[in-house]
Amino acid sequence: MNRKVIGSMLIIGLVGIGIIVFLQSPWYRSGDLSLPKEVKGGETSILEVSAQEKKDHPVRKFVLTAEEKQWNISEDKKVSAWTYNGTVPGESLHVTEGDVVQVKLVNELDVPVTIHWHGVLLPNKMDGIPGLTQDAVQPGESFTYEFVANDAGTYWYHSHQQSSIQVDKGLYGSLVVEEKEKEYKKDEVFILDEWAVDQEREDISNMGGMMMGAMSGDGEADTKQMYDTFTVNGKAGRAIEPLTMEAGEKARLRFVNAGYQEHRLVFPEGSMRVIANDAEHVVSEDHESNVLEIAPGERMDVEFTKPEKETVFIGQEQSVENAEDMIIPVVSERNQNRHQGATLAKEAGVAKGISYGSEKPIFGEIPEPDVTYDMDLSMGMSMGEGMSFQINDETFPDTPPIHVKDGDIVKVTLRNNGRMNHPMHLHGHRFQVNSKNGREFEKPIVKDLIHVKPGEEYVIYFKADNVGEWLFHCHDNNHAARGMVTIVDYEGVYSPFDLGGEKENQPN
Ligand code: C2O
Ligand code: CU
């Protein structure tokens, strides 16, 4: 070992002590927390505003029960999971655009929970944020969510109470809003995730990983240290359910990343084309790229055509640890012989969230903003408090909110000055990504999550057209739990809820 290595190990060790102290006292347990005063100010309660008309749409009713279950990730990996309706992921909800979706959440866990409808444009009071849009649903109690599913596309739902913990433990599922006229007969959802089956590893190595990330420049060193198993629809490796398709058949495959780590899936050459991203159709004739890069929280839909072969594989690119867990065999009806001889195709180009323009941009030309907000993303450390993830040098709830009025055009410049990746997600709206590192995109991209990597800068625009109090946060929920959250605060409305308190409202 040379001196440099020993030196860095010493630093890690020292910092580790501070970190362990910190682990005993995450920010949210440290008492005195309140929403920014602007979020509490205004005439009208967010409970009284709604951006949706119900008309006479058909009503689709579901019940989701939050309950604890032993979950078998694979033959030798069992975890005690928190689930919606007993499985991980929870029940996959399928509705048709225009339906009124009514979901009764019944809480049979012994901790409070909620449901957030990730990506869905809905009334603020249905957004599922404890302490902001509702009180957390207490053990033994229930809450009914209701909204109109206006825009077809791939969505997902997850608890937003202590989300860093609850999503990790399995409280998530998919919501597919189908087009009135379906284009693909075969249509499947795959939710990707990481698990810490070995819990000790999770606690000790998370912080070490953050430190290593800070030094090594691997923007995901923290999650990589923390988790030891990858899953597809709650299963790893050979336990993953194969997809049955015949050669030449086409399907719409919807991918959701419920984890905190980016995943890169390798497809057989020439077999896929991205068709949608965060529920927005993209314009693309690219059949060359065969690697799909999906950020934490992101959804990407592809059109997949099965090549002339009995069995092919879609799987995590091999360069990361645990890659072998994440492999989907595509078999034929007559040969169900799943995981034998699993090899991945050669990589020929990466398709990601910012690769293709959207079919329907929000703005034709770059608009004149009414509000501008510079969002600096960074990482901090202080003895006693440990690691934090900051927006404009503050941690939630002290981060400066984005103040808007109904109808405003809002311009946000996101800049990552830290050394970790930050998939930033906005609730209740979609934004248009216009430029990266000062260079304009030829075709703007409409999304609700933008993956901002170290050194990157994105300029996004959105229209403030959904009155309420909305989160804008990092979807590596471990970063959100350590501060990287802010609020889009509309003038004139206030949240009647509070962080903490008897209901233990802890949104991150
Ligand atoms: Cu998946 Cu705050 O969201
Ligand atoms: Cu982050």
pTM reported for the whole predicted model = 0.92
From 130-134, 199-203, 406-410, 431-435, the region with the lowest mean pLDDT: 199-203
**pLDDT surpassing 60 at residue 344:** yes
- Ligand 1, atom 1: closest residue by C-alpha: 118
More confident residue, 53 or 398: 398
**Counting ligands in written order, which one lies closest to the CA of residue 480?**
2
Peptide bond before 112: cis, by omega within 30 degrees of 0? no
**pLDDT surpassing 60 at residue 14:** no
Find the angle CA(214)-CA(216)-CA(219) to the nearest 5 degrees. 65
Mean local confidence (pLDDT), 172-189? 97
Q: Could you tell me if the CB of 116 is within 6 A of ligand 1?
A: yes
Please check whether the two domains, 56-182 and 193-351, share a CATH topology.
yes
Q: In the chain, what are the domain boundaries?
A: 31-43+360-494, 56-182, 193-351
Q: Could you tell me if the CB of 471 is within 6 A of ligand 1?
A: yes
From the CA of 317, how far away is ligand 1's center (Å)? 26
Does residue 222 sit in helix, strand or coil? helix
The span from the CA of 145 to the CA of 312, in Å, is 40
Ligand 1 atom at minimum distance from 129 CA: 2
- Ligand 1, atom 3: closest residue by C-alpha: 118
Token pair, residue 177, equals 């809003």
The span from the CA of 443 to the CA of 158, in Å, is 31
Find the angle CA(38)-CA(391)-CA(445) to the nearest 5 degrees. 95
From the CA of 418, how far away is ligand 2's center (Å)? 9
**pLDDT surpassing 60 at residue 24:** no
Q: Could you tell me if the CB of 481 is within 6 A of ligand 1?
A: no
Q: Could you tell me if the CB of 299 is within 6 A of ligand 1?
A: no
pLDDT digits 0-9 by tens, 458-497: 999 999 999 999 999 999 999 999 999 999 999 999 999 9
Q: Could you tell me if the CB of 479 is within 6 A of ligand 1?
A: no
**Counting ligands in written order, which one lies closest to the CA of residue 210?**
2
- pLDDT, residue 26, reads 45
Q: Could you tell me if the CB of 473 is within 6 A of ligand 1?
A: yes
The span from the CA of 357 to the CA of 361, in Å, is 8
Q: What is the dihedral of CA 329, 335, 336, 341, to 10 degrees?
A: -50
From the CA of 451, how far away is ligand 2's center (Å)? 9
pLDDT digits 0-9 by tens, 275-288: 999 999 999 999 99
For 481, other C-beta atoms within 10 Å of its C-beta total: 24
From the CA of 178, how far away is ligand 2's center (Å)? 31
Architecture (CATH level 2) of domain 193-351? Sandwich (2.60)
pLDDT digits 0-9 by tens, 85-129: 999 999 999 999 999 999 999 999 999 999 999 999 999 999 999
Give yes or no for a contact between 166 and 72, defined as CB atoms under 8 angstroms apart: no
The span from the CA of 429 to the CA of 18, in Å, is 39
From the CA of 349, how far away is ligand 1's center (Å)? 29
Compute the mean pLDDT over every residue in the chain, rounded to the nearest whole number: 91
Give yes or no for a contact between 269 and 312, defined as CB atoms under 8 angstroms apart: no
- pLDDT, residue 248, reads 97
Question: 56-182 in CATH: which number?
Answer: 2.60.40.420
Mean local confidence (pLDDT), 424-437? 98
What single letter denotes the amino acid at residue 453? K
State which fold the 31-43+360-494 domain adopts.
Immunoglobulin-like (2.60.40)
